[in-house]
């Protein structure tokens, strides 16, 4: 029987196979994970690799160590082999507060910027002062994805606005990490905000979050991490018609709530406010959250929210009445003093379509409380509930952070088994402690 070897395959097929051999996620360019490895096998593979431009369209370099540096001639050769194809570029110089004085580093930036017209996806994890100095030529015609920034403290920042990415007609997704010292302001970064559909922001103050939402009116997905407090300029609530997903990760829920009075989100499907990491314990004005839901009239499907280890109030229960389409809810820092009785009622039921409920608590549930929970689970998985509401609870998780706390006793475990027999995925378990 005839055998087929790699060398007997058509050149075009070999080239196609090679394109699927390289990692999808960009990693620092090296012989072990780049086209250079293919070139070392034999002369035929070398010739095919050199003649296949798509193999050279991703370039990643780590400037944090001398080992990551490559001669500018090698970089020039690499990029020339990609011919005119769109490029994915990744540069990591994290930990450096100022641009490096070594001209060899700047030769790398200059060579990359010579091909800026072909950038399609770019990640610059480098000091802001270096970003300000990038010799980009605009417009950046092919740029669709952009990620840049550095959280290092005490970075020197030029006084003028950042214009390096201001003109990019295809730009849709942006991810920015601001510096930890607050020297860089998002208002000083000029982008084609109206084009963006996806945004990620890290180390933003509340007023900077508001700026993004006001400027980027076509955002569909917006997420902020490590949000800090900052006074938002007063203005009438502005509707954001396109936004479907908003996530704000902040150690104190109040920081998130400070933003809400200035917006409405008629098409919002997922909302996440707060964090598994908590600072202090303070009272929450749920009326602000209630007003947002009333003003937006959105059909929210998923809600992740921190209740700050405080007992539920009637205001929060009133918020639940505004979420008839909610299917997935996760509550951080849940307090077992909160009564779940409102969720047991079958007539005028709250959250009738809920199929996933996750409660994160500091402690494992006490015996009386766990019995209330199990009663809730039986109600929400009963035939009567399904008949009335066309949906039942499918997933329930109770996760506590104190590792030494006890598990439910055997009596409760037998009831949990009965719930699992109904098809409910249910678990009570500890997790890693909160920071």
**pLDDT-derived band at 93, boundaries 50, 70, 90:** confident
Token digits of residue 1: 């029987």
Please give the distance of CA 5 from its chain centroid, rounded to a whole number.
44
pLDDT at 310: 66
Tokens 């100022």, located at residue: 98
- What token pair was written down for 410? 């055997």
pLDDT, tens digit, 9 for 90 and up, residues 288-307:
899 999 999 999 999 999 88
Mean pLDDT across the stretch 206-224? 97
As a whole number, mean pLDDT of residues 126-147 equals: 92
Distances (CA, A) of 129 to 121, 158, 212: 21, 7, 22
Which residue is associated with the tokens 């109904």? 422
Contact in structure between 87 and 59 (CB atoms under 8 Å): yes
**Structure tokens of 49?**
């690799």
Mean pLDDT of 190-205: 97
Reply yes or no on whether the pLDDT at 383 is more than 80.
yes
Q: Phi and psi of 368, rounded to 5°?
A: -60, -40
Mean pLDDT is lowest, of 131-140, 171-180, 297-306, for 131-140
Q: Mean pLDDT for the chain?
A: 86
Residue 408 pLDDT grade (very low, low, confident, very high; cuts 50, 70, 90): confident
pLDDT of residue 342: 81
If we measure between CA atoms, which residue out of 368, 309, 373, 313 comes closest to residue 335? 309
Q: What is the pLDDT of residue 178?
A: 94
pTM of the entire structure?
A: 0.89
Cβ-contact 259, 210 below 8 angstroms: yes
pLDDT range class, residue 309, cuts 50, 70, 90: low
Average pLDDT, integer, range 405-431? 89
Cα–Cα distance between 242 and 199 in angstroms, integer? 13
* pLDDT (0 to 100) of residue 4: 56
Q: At 69, is the pLDDT very low, low, confident or very high (cuts 50, 70, 90)?
A: low
pLDDT band at 63 (very low <50, low <70, confident <90, very high): confident
- Residue 40 has a pLDDT of 77
pLDDT at 208: 96
Per domain, the residue ranges of the chain are 336-435
The residue among 19 and 188 whose pLDDT is bigger is 188
Q: Judge whether residue 435 has pLDDT over 50.
A: no
For residues 250-272, average pLDDT: 92
Which pLDDT score is estimated for 48?
A: 76
CA distance 414 to 338: 25
- Please determine, for residue 434, whether its predicted confidence score (pLDDT) is greater than 50: no
**CA atoms in the 13 A half-sphere facing the CB of 16:** 5
- Provide the 8-state DSSP code for 256: H
Q: For residue 51, what pLDDT band results from cuts at 50, 70 and 90?
A: confident
CA proximity to 274, closest of 291, 261, 286: 286
| Mean pLDDT (whole number) for 88-104 | 75
Average pLDDT over residues 177-198: 93
Q: Is the pLDDT of residue 81 over 50?
A: yes
pLDDT for 157 equals: 81
Percent of the chain with pLDDT over 70: 89
Asked if pLDDT for residue 168 goes beyond 90, the answer is yes
- pLDDT tops 70 at residue 96: no
Whether residue 433 has pLDDT greater than 70: no
């Amino acid at each position: 029987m005839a055998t087929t070897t790699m060398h007997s395959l058509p050149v075009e097929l070999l080239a196609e196979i090679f394109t699927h051999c390289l990692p999808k996620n960009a990693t620092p360019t090296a012989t072990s994970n780049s086209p250079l490895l293919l070139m070392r096998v034999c002369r035929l593979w070398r010739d095919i690799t050199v003649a296949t431009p798509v193999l050279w369209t991703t370039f990643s370099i780590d400037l944090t160590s001398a080992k990551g540096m490559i001669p500018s001639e090698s970089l020039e050769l690499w990029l020339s082999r990609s011919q005119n194809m769109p490029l994915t570029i990744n540069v990591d110089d994290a930990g450096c507060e100022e641009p490096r004085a070594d001209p060899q580093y700047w030769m790398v930036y200059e060579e990359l910027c010579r091909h800026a017209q072909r950038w399609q996806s770019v990640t610059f994890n480098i000091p802001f002062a270096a970003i300000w100095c990038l010799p980009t030529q605009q417009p950046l015609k092919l740029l669709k994805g952009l990620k840049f920034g550095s959280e290092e403290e005490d970075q020197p920042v030029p006084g003028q606005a950042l214009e390096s990415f201001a003109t990019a007609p295809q730009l849709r997704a942006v991810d920015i990490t601001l510096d930890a010292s607050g020297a860089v302001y998002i208002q000083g970064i000029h982008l084609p905000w109206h084009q963006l559909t996806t945004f990620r922001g890290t180390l933003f103050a509340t007023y900077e979050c508001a700026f993004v939402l006001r400027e980027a009116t076509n955002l569909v997905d917006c997420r902020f991490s490590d949000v800090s407090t900052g006074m938002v300029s007063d203005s009438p609530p502005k509707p954001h018609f396109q936004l479907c997903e908003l996530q704000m990760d902040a150690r104190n829920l109040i920081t998130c709530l400070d933003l809400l009075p200035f917006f409405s989100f008629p098409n919002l499907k997922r909302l996440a406010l707060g964090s598994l990491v908590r600072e202090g314990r303070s009272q929450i004005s749920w009326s602000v959250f209630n007003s947002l839901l009333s003003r937006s009239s959105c059909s929210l499907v998923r809600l992740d929210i921190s209740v700050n280890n405080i007992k539920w109030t009637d205001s929060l229960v009133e918020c639940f009445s505004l979420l008839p389409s909610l299917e997935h809810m996760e509550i951080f820092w849940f307090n077992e003093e909160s009564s779940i009785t409102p969720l047991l009622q079958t007539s005028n039921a709250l959250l009738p379509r809920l199929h996933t409920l996750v409660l994160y608590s500091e402690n494992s549930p006490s015996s009386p409380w766990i019995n209330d929970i199990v009663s809730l689970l039986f109600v929400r998985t009963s035939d009567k509930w399904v008949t009335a509401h066309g949906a039942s609870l499918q997933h329930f998780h109770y996760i506590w952070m104190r590792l030494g706390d006890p598990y439910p006793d055997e009596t409760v475990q037998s009831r949990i088994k009965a719930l699992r027999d109904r098809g409910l995925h249910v678990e009570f378990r500890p997790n890693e402690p909160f920071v």
